[in-house]
Amino acid sequence: MPIQSTNQVRVVFRLNTHRIICLMELSEAIQSHAIDFFLANGAEPTVEMQEVIQLVDGNYLGRRFFCGNLQAVWSPATGVLTLINEDAETTEIDLSGQSTAANAA
């Protein structure tokens, strides 16, 4: 059974359907990379993954995923997903080429 994501986020849809699809595809790609990283670093497939939408003063800053002692942080400003293992070692994946959309909120 794959790691399950719990999303506690209300999505506001805009009229531009193409943009919504691009944002959803980017969001799914980010989640997929995070799940792959967690599983490759020893997370149990039944452990729940938590996803946090990061906002400051109403501005979207990115997403942070947690699974046990592992983390993944995505920044829309750079398009980079930073993977952090339990030894605080980091790996970065550039996802900016996956979509023309700048944000996956």
Under a CB-based contact definition with an 8 Å cutoff, are residues 103 and 91 in contact?
no
Q: What pLDDT, on the 0 to 100 scale, is given for residue 71?
A: 92
Q: Domain map of the chain by residue range?
A: 5-97
Strand segments, DSSP code E, in 8-98 are 49-56, 59-67, 70-75, 80-84, 90-94
pLDDT tens figures, 56-93: 888 888 999 999 889 999 998 898 999 998 888 888 88
The DSSP element (H or E) to which 5 belongs, if any, is strand 5-6
What is the DSSP code (8-state) at residue 19? H
**Could you give the CA distance from residue 9 to residue 6 in angstroms, rounded to a whole number?**
9
User: Quick one: pLDDT band at residue 98, thresholds 50, 70, 90?
Assistant: low
Residue among 18, 42, 22 nearest 30 (CA): 22
